[in-house]
Amino acid sequence: MSAFTDHIAELRRRWSGALASAGLDVAVVAAGTSRPYFLDDQSPPYRPNPHFAQWLAGAECPNSLLLVRRNGPVTLYFHQVEDYWHLPPATPDLDDAVAVETFDSIDAMTTAVAREVERFNRTAFVGEVETPGSNLPFGEVNPPLLLNALHYGRARKTPFEIACMRRATEIAVAGHVAAVAAFRAGASEFEIHQAYLSASQQTESSLPYSSIVALNEHAGVLHYQHYDRNSPAVRKSFLIDAGGRYRGYAADVTRTYAAQSDAFAALIDALDAEQLAIIDTIRAGMSYVDLHDAMHRSIAGILSNLGLVTCSAEAAYQQRITDAFFPHGIGHLIGLQTHDVGGHLASPEGGTRAPPERYPALRLTRAIETGQVFTVEPGIYFIPMLLRQLRPSAAGNDVAWSEVDALMGHGGIRIEDNVLITEDGVENLTREAFAGASSAT
């Protein structure tokens, strides 16, 4: 059997269990469609419903419907209309693991689905309402019991998904290698962005998320969203958070570089070492919240060792000085979505495991388990808004402000890898891809 056939077999097991626990016999999963902007005939790029995409291995089938029976085969009702304005979608190659019925009109497709759904008592629709199929008489629409079970399970990747994520990472890394070369050659943010797209063979709309390409103080804006056409006169730093996508699966990668060998470069090296050290500690069974907390202690150590605070690492941690320098979570689940769902779920049945009061931005609060893929992305930033609040506080007395002020124009550092949890530790998909890229040159 191919990895894809195994993947479909695993999805069938998961959906059978999830449908049973939600008291359902069948679900219709809508691919979705791209709606035009308000009062416009232009639409944003199409993004499939991830519940649909997981069965389709990246094949784009807007408007199509997937019928998942609790005890029985899975059928794709494939919408393929003849068109000369757009290229119609190709018939997906699903290794015969999913039956495909093709329709050239939405009406004919929904009529066929309705006829099949009528045979079952307990039915649900999974998808955006007001897309083809959502008007059929389903018992439930997006039932939380079904979605929670699926979202919880999605954290554990199948071997097919892991292979896709490995490839997505290689795509991203090809872009990163070109981007840093462009930075070293003096390129603007805009030019670096173009170099990234070109080397990774991606278009803006095929990226898993909008690339963050930040020179100097822009690196301190966590989700900086512009591409400055001008190259700054003085180049201090470069942060790039840019991903790759392969068959629907995302890679989410950040690197930071210093323009010269200075205090900022030393800070990057220190954070890089601590990021690798914390990844080394990861084992199935650990709490991701504890991992995040341990990273705050590591960052407190860096601030103390490099003289950015005048107090001990312990005091910097206890006084929450690190919160101003590292204001986001250490990472998140990743897969079909860059920020994959289910990070706060308490169990497959539902319930929320909220982040602790100190770390409200933490997107993942679950125990670490084999088969999960998540990011590990610590940062140290010089964010004027947060440092303005810290400066007059009691803890502010323990900050070495002249050293911190000297780094303000560098913006900040983030180093982001995607790791797979294995039986005996961690596989760092990102570092492997960078090693592969450098051995190939």
- Contacts to ligand GLY by CB under 6 A: 209, 241, 252, 338, 377, 416
* Cβ nearer to ligand GLY, comparing 110 with 254: 254
Tokens of 366: 């679950």
The distance of closest approach from Cβ of residue 332 to Mn ion in the complex, given in angstroms and rounded to an integer, is 6
Q: How distant is the alpha carbon of residue 77 from its chain centre? A: 29
Task: Name which of ligand GLY, Mn ion, none residue 209 binds, using a CB cut-off of 5 to 8 Å depending on partner kind.
Answer: ligand GLY
The distance of closest approach from Cβ of residue 331 to Mn ion in the complex, given in angstroms and rounded to an integer, is 6
Secondary element (H or E) of residue 412: strand 412-414
Tokens of 201: 């063979």
The distance of closest approach from Cβ of residue 188 to ligand GLY in the complex, given in angstroms and rounded to an integer, is 21
* Cβ nearer to ligand GLY, comparing 170 with 241: 241
Task: Name which of ligand GLY, Mn ion, none residue 170 binds, using a CB cut-off of 5 to 8 Å depending on partner kind.
Answer: none
* Cβ nearer to Mn ion, comparing 146 with 219: 219
In 3D space, the residue among 213, 260, 254, 266 whose CA is nearest the CA of residue 236 turns out to be 260
* Cβ nearer to ligand GLY, comparing 304 with 337: 337
Task: Name which of ligand GLY, Mn ion, none residue 211 binds, using a CB cut-off of 5 to 8 Å depending on partner kind.
Answer: none
In the beta sheet, which residues pair with residue 319? none
The distance of closest approach from Cβ of residue 225 to ligand GLY in the complex, given in angstroms and rounded to an integer, is 11
The distance of closest approach from Cβ of residue 241 to ligand GLY in the complex, given in angstroms and rounded to an integer, is 5
Tokens of 377: 């992305």
Which residue spans within 247-336 are E strands per DSSP?
249-258
The distance of closest approach from Cβ of residue 171 to ligand GLY in the complex, given in angstroms and rounded to an integer, is 15
* Cβ nearer to ligand GLY, comparing 224 with 257: 224
Task: Name which of Mn ion, ligand GLY, none residue 287 binds, using a CB cut-off of 5 to 8 Å depending on partner kind.
Answer: none
Q: Which residue has the tokens 């291995």?
A: 57
Which residue spans within 247-397 are E strands per DSSP?
249-258, 345-347, 350-352, 373-376, 379-381
* Cβ nearer to ligand GLY, comparing 46 with 209: 209
Residue 318: how many CB atoms within 10 A of its CB?
14
Task: Name which of ligand GLY, Mn ion, none residue 398 binds, using a CB cut-off of 5 to 8 Å depending on partner kind.
Answer: none
The distance of closest approach from Cβ of residue 173 to ligand GLY in the complex, given in angstroms and rounded to an integer, is 15
* Cβ nearer to Mn ion, comparing 161 with 241: 241
In 3D space, the residue among 9, 30, 54 whose CA is nearest the CA of residue 336 turns out to be 54
The distance of closest approach from Cβ of residue 417 to Mn ion in the complex, given in angstroms and rounded to an integer, is 10
The distance of closest approach from Cβ of residue 4 to ligand GLY in the complex, given in angstroms and rounded to an integer, is 27
DSSP 148-178: HHHHHHTTBPPHHHHHHHHHHHHHHHHHHHH
212 contacts: CB under 8 Å, gap ≥ 6:
223, 224, 225, 239, 240, 241, 242, 254
* Cβ nearer to ligand GLY, comparing 217 with 241: 241
Name the strands in the sheet holding 140-141, side by side, starting at the edge strand that comes first in the sequence: 99-103, 74-79, 65-69, 26-30, 123-126, 140-141
Q: Residues in the site for Mn ion, rule: CB under 5 A?
A: 241, 252, 254, 375, 416
In eight-state DSSP terms, residue 338 is: S
Is 364 in contact with 329 (CB distance < 8 Å)? yes
* Cβ nearer to ligand GLY, comparing 377 with 398: 377
